[in-house]
Amino acid sequence: MARATSFLRLLLVVLLFVRALVCWALYALSLESARAWPELAHLRLPVYLAVVAGFIPVVMGIASVFDFLGAVDDDAAFSDRTIEILRRLRLLTGVVAGYVCVVFGGFWIAGGLMHPTLVFLWFVAEVAALFLFTMVAVLERIFVAASELRQDSELTV
């Protein structure tokens, strides 16, 4: 069992590394965009900081998944600990869904223009975040029911 979770942990570390590279690439892209559109250059730093701040709940979510894998490794998959981790993960995915909505709306208002491709990207990101939120909420409810069944089973034996 630990072999499967160690592979997942490796994938999560790779994801964190890719997030760090994306932050670096976004900075270079923001400089290039400021040169290409000087009338929007004043928005370069606020937009960059808003995007990087959006990675904070993602990194916290990855940390929650690390905690969840630790609980699975400790054979405490259906425990109060995992339910609390899933609640935290549900909250973080809700924050990401709200953040995507606010940031794209703010970008639209601040920039005064929005290409249809960006609107499509906005909708895709929002649907993905809401889908993830729903799936974590369902998973949390399943774990709550399984934990209650486990506790009832322990009381009857």
By C-alpha distance, which of 119, 123, 121 is closest to 131?
Answer: 123
Against a cut of 0.85, is the pTM above it? no
Domain-wise residue ranges, the chain: 2-156
Q: What whole-number distance in Å separates Cα of residue 68 and Cα of residue 141?
A: 15
Cα angle value 88/89/92 (rounded, 5°): 90
The CA–CA distances, whole Å, from 73 to 76, 86, 119 equal 7, 16, 42
Q: What whole-number distance in Å separates Cα of residue 48 and Cα of residue 35?
A: 15
Using one digit for the tens of pLDDT, what is the confidence trace for 96-142? 999 888 888 877 777 676 778 878 888 898 999 999 999 999 999 99
> Tokens 């998973």 identify what position?
139
Q: What whole-number distance in Å separates Cα of residue 34 and Cα of residue 11?
A: 34
Using one digit for the tens of pLDDT, what is the confidence trace for 48-62? 888 888 888 889 999
